[in-house]
Structure 1
Amino acid sequence: MSRWESGAKNVSSKVVRGYERAIGLPAGVLLATQRGLIRSSDPSAPEPEPLQFCEADSAPDQLVSELLEQAGDPTAPMSGGDWLRLAVEVTRFEMVLLPKATWTAVCDRLVNELARTTGGDRLRRYEAAVTLICHPVAQRHVLAALGSWLTDPHVQVVSPILSLLQHVRDEAASKLVLRLLDSDARALSQGAVQVAAAKAAHGHFQGVALALLEQRAIRELVTPQGQSGIDILDLTTFLPEQSYRRVLMTLRDAQLRQRVESSRESHCLVPAEVARNRSRDIASQAQSATPTIHAAEPDLLLQRLVSEALFHVHGARRSMAASLLRVSPYGAAVADACLSLATRESEFVGARAWEAVWQLGTGTRRGHVTKLAHEHRHPWMQRRALTALGNSGAPLDDREAARVVDATLTTPHRGVRSAGLLALGMGSPGSLGRMDSLPAEQREIANWWLRVGPALADAG
């Protein structure tokens, strides 16, 4: 186990499936996590081995047919394990000839469910989508589903869908990301910066495309726009050496230049001592709060995961570390500790803690988050608390829903209203009918949530 944890040994998917069964995890959660970890830890590494998700009792073509029929029927439930199994079995075939209507129904449904799930349920669907988008036949159908989702003028969930483009190496995908960088929709343009950083880390940009990324990095570093500063640091960190040097030469502000150089050298958003102290404190709290049979030494792997989830410069690494923590026994306790950090630290560190909470869930402090969402006077804090409720994956009870409705209808801040609609759309869609007094733009967002559907959680 220690060699597997440290990366010294690559464990086969068959062994991982054995661990899943032994500890009672849903099928495919560890498999999806392991593959994502390999992919995000070393962009130059080869693709993970083909999944051996499970031993089929029937012929492969019959199994695929049954799974496709299930996925194409909107009334038939599909768990994350079902989606991962379908993707794996489909991509065992070099040629997959299916009616366009079948591809459209299956890929549209997968994208929709990817946007509405959290934790291990999302991880498995994400790995299924990555598996399909890397297949030469399935790829164009997944891209069509992504395009349909992202071009909706009222789309509210962007990041998990847009991030799939980082796994497509061809020039057309890179050009699409470059176009999205200049999108009028802020969520799309900011999300595209994260994807561009991930693609740059994989070496997907060359020539003119690299020059455009350099110009974007210079423009955003010198005259920051909105909340994109962290993502631009991410992008600059993973530019090729010559491109990075050209960007650095344009920076006249010594403090900004030092921050860019530090981020590239350490891959950390804060000074090393700050990252070390905060992550050690959170890991210690989480370890103390998590029941164990035997006394244990400080868990250094836990400390590293916390540090990366909060402070790694690369958004993909922060996301993967948070995903690993969520499926671990420490997930709820780390979420509780991050919530404490989010409400008492500086705005910068607090924002990193909230980002982690959005992926970890609200732990055992959901009531505290609801109170912040309803009563906190600072819209910055209120918006993040509402977003945490929306991303928790759990429905709102009547009292929570009433508080979110009140916060959404009474706030003068557009960002708080949008976050409130996220919380209601995911957790209490029945409450969206009370949004008639909102401005027309926000009513359209409420209607978008009604079309998409609420948060989805797999049984068991």
Structure 2
Amino acid sequence: MQQIAYDATPLNAVTVDVEARIGWLLAMSRLHHPDPSFQDGRVFIEALGDAGMPTSRSLLSRWESGEIPISYEAMAAYEQVLGIESGQISSITAYVGAILPRIKARLARPKLDPATPEFADRLDALIDLCEDGGALSRDWQDLGWHLAAVPHAFLRSSVWAALCGRLVNEMPRTVKLAYRQYSAAAFNLAQVPRAQPYLVDAVATWVADPRAQVLTTPVGMLDRLPTRAAASLVLDMIEKPPTQSVFKVGIWSATEKLARGQFDDEERARLDMLVLQLWRRDPVRASEDLAELIAGMPEGMRSTLVHAADRAGRRRLGYAVEHGEEVVATRARAIAGQIAEQARTLVPQEPTYAEDRMLTRLVREALFHRDSERRHLSSLLIASSPFGRAVTDCLLVLLKDTGHSNWMRGRTATLARYLSDETHRLRMISLLDDPAEDVVTPVAQALGHMPYSAMSDQVLRSSLGRELTNAARGKMYALGMSGSPGLAAIATSDQVPEWQRVAAAWWQEHGSAIRPSPEPGA
């Protein structure tokens, strides 16, 4: 019976076992494939060979156990044989470095030889495509790989500015696989010293536009940029955030920069002052919003804040700092285990393997982990696995139970945003009138990640409301990302609030969602 890879690192560790997680993803993609013959490793190995990737049973076992890393070419062969979207598996490993920079994992990328004329020709073509706006998401990913192979390549200043400006301009509208491909490109560009100041300038310009409707994705790039300007911009996002979402991303970026030593003495002093100001202004809110940052601060500051919270009877902060979770372990384990067990019954094929503890851990992290980066990675892994749709089915049942706290329901809705697809549309529409704004906002955003639907569009527009709230922002985001034909009327109407006209005009100017690139010849 096949043993299933498991990441046994403590929940409060700063790193995770990436190879075990990728191994789990490979095994689950094969064992829960609609074709039951792939459960037989010999059949699958033969299919990999037919796809141009000769493989032994031993090598397959070591990949799927997480014992050794798998090459990009082998991941691509998995995708081809399983008939799944190109990049669904391979893009995850490339993306890990972008969101968990403290993890030393070998990034999956194709083998490139910068010494060949073919490499130079392809790099020239990619630069032209991306600079001129004709690039697809896979082209951006390819550009990132090529520049990573020649990090000291010389480009004119105007070319760097154009590439970085277009990348920052387009990334906020990417979804699903396209989001991971653009993010991998941004990660690779951020490793090129010459590109770094241009990326920071592009992010600063984007954030400075008061009309901008999507800010979190560009701000999230700053933790990869080790410049003084990037550090200053992160601190600005904490001190004077344009939205609560930007504030949360600023906290995440500051946590990463602090861990990687990217703040100098003056910047660390400013960060300490900002934390103390937020604490004095609202200690209850600060202990919730700043938990991941406080956990990464020097012992003196961390202990002072944890003890202050304990004395005030708010022991949740101390628990989160020590254990890496925001609820007690027994409850987190029970809820995650129940969701994972139910989801497993909804996917193809009966389990023919030993106990799978990884899905439970990923659901647990995605819902309850203290650190936003860990929740993000776990959510993406589930989304790339055969369990994404089934887990969402379970989450939507949980969301119907209004007896849970708004915090719990908000986390549940946020995970559903990552995993949902067209099959969940009707159930998600029914949640747009939920009394909890923390539920409505991610649900509306999830609808924006789906293709346009007249039914969704009508409900979103009729429930938009005149007041600018987080839920209203989420609904306008859904209208913009889905390319609502109603945007033109909203942008020119004198019967709607000014914020709606500004938002609708911005979406018309920038366009709707950027989705995964179609396969060549498709």
TM-score with structure 1 setting the length: 0.88
Relative to 1, partners in 2 of residues 1:294 and 1:313: Cα closer, same or farther, differing over 3 Å?
closer
Aligned ranges for residues 30-41 of structure 1 at < 5 Å? 30-37=89-96
Which has the higher relative contact order, 1 or 2, with Cα contacts under 8 A spaced 6 or more apart? 2
Structure 2 CA distance, aligned partners of 1:189 and 1:38? 23
Q: Which of 332, 353, 366 does residue 412 from structure 2 map onto?
A: 353
Q: Does 1:126 align with 2:126?
A: no
Deviates more, 1:202-211 or 1:296-305: 202-211
Structure 2 CA distance, aligned partners of 1:377 and 1:259? 25
Relative to 1, partners in 2 of residues 1:190 and 1:380: Cα closer, same or farther, differing over 3 Å?
closer
Structure 2 CA distance, aligned partners of 1:452 and 1:325? 30
Q: Does 1:113 align with 2:170?
A: yes
What are the Cα deviations for residues 218-248 of structure 1, in whole angstroms up to 9, with x where unaligned?
A: 4434543997764411111121323312433
Aligned to 2:462: 406
Relative to 1, partners in 2 of residues 1:282 and 1:54: Cα closer, same or farther, differing over 3 Å?
farther
Q: 1:67·1:86 contact (CA, 8 Å) conserved in 2? A: yes
Aligned to 1:81: 138
Larger-Rg structure: 2
Structure 2 CA distance, aligned partners of 1:143 and 1:226? 33
**Matched residue pairs, number?**
452
Deviates more, 1:54-63 or 1:395-404: 54-63
Aligned to 2:211: 154
Structure 1 CA distance, aligned partners of 2:177 and 2:108? 20
Relative to 1, partners in 2 of residues 1:48 and 1:142: Cα closer, same or farther, differing over 3 Å?
farther
Letter in 1 for 2:486: S
What are the Cα deviations for residues 384-404 of structure 1, in whole angstroms up to 9, with x where unaligned?
A: 4323312xx222311211111
SS at match of 1:339: helix
Structure 1 CA distance, aligned partners of 2:456 and 2:229? 45
Q: Which of 426, 440, 445 does residue 387 from structure 1 map onto?
A: 445
Letter in 1 for 2:473: S
Q: Which of 230, 237, 241 does residue 295 from structure 2 map onto?
A: 237
Q: 2:468·2:499 contact (CA, 8 Å) conserved in 1? A: no
Relative to 1, partners in 2 of residues 1:255 and 1:25: Cα closer, same or farther, differing over 3 Å?
farther
What are the Cα deviations for residues 181-208 of structure 1, in whole angstroms up to 9, with x where unaligned?
A: 1125124333211211222233333433
Structure 1 CA distance, aligned partners of 2:265 and 2:239? 19
Relative to 1, partners in 2 of residues 1:322 and 1:58: Cα closer, same or farther, differing over 3 Å?
farther
Q: Which of 266, 270, 273 does residue 212 from structure 1 map onto?
A: 270
Aligned to 2:379: 322
Q: Does 1:367 align with 2:426?
A: yes
| Structure 1 residue 416: Cα displacement | 3.1
Relative to 1, partners in 2 of residues 1:225 and 1:163: Cα closer, same or farther, differing over 3 Å?
farther
Letter in 1 for 2:254: A
Relative to 1, partners in 2 of residues 1:191 and 1:357: Cα closer, same or farther, differing over 3 Å?
same
Aligned-residue CA RMSD (Å): 2.8
- Give percent identity, aligned residues only: 24
Aligned to 1:292: 349
Q: Which of 320, 325, 334 does residue 391 from structure 2 map onto?
A: 334
Aligned to 1:193: 251
SS at match of 1:91: helix
Letter in 2 for 1:405: R
Aligned ranges for residues 94-109 of structure 1 at < 5 Å? 94-109=151-166
Relative to 1, partners in 2 of residues 1:192 and 1:38: Cα closer, same or farther, differing over 3 Å?
closer
Letter in 1 for 2:317: V
Aligned to 2:10: none
Relative to 1, partners in 2 of residues 1:42 and 1:450: Cα closer, same or farther, differing over 3 Å?
closer
Q: 1:310·1:318 contact (CA, 8 Å) conserved in 2? A: yes
Aligned to 2:260: 202
Relative to 1, partners in 2 of residues 1:272 and 1:377: Cα closer, same or farther, differing over 3 Å?
closer
Structure 2 CA distance, aligned partners of 1:411 and 1:382? 16
| Structure 1 residue 136: Cα displacement | 0.8
Q: Which of 321, 330, 342 does residue 273 from structure 1 map onto?
A: 330
Unaligned regions of 5+ residues in structure 1, if any? none
| Structure 1 residue 377: Cα displacement | 5.1
Letter in 2 for 1:444: V
Deviates more, 1:353-362 or 1:294-303: 294-303
Deviates more, 1:346-355 or 1:441-450: 441-450
SS at match of 1:143: helix
Unaligned regions of 5+ residues in structure 2, if any? 7-18, 22-65
Structure 2 CA distance, aligned partners of 1:253 and 1:221? 14
| Structure 1 residue 27: Cα displacement | 4.4
Relative to 1, partners in 2 of residues 1:261 and 1:184: Cα closer, same or farther, differing over 3 Å?
closer
What are the Cα deviations for residues 92-133 of structure 1, in whole angstroms up to 9, with x where unaligned?
A: 224333333333333233223321122222111101101101
SS at match of 1:430: coil
What are the Cα deviations for residues 1-35 of structure 1, in whole angstroms up to 9, with x where unaligned?
A: 84842654333444434434333444444343124
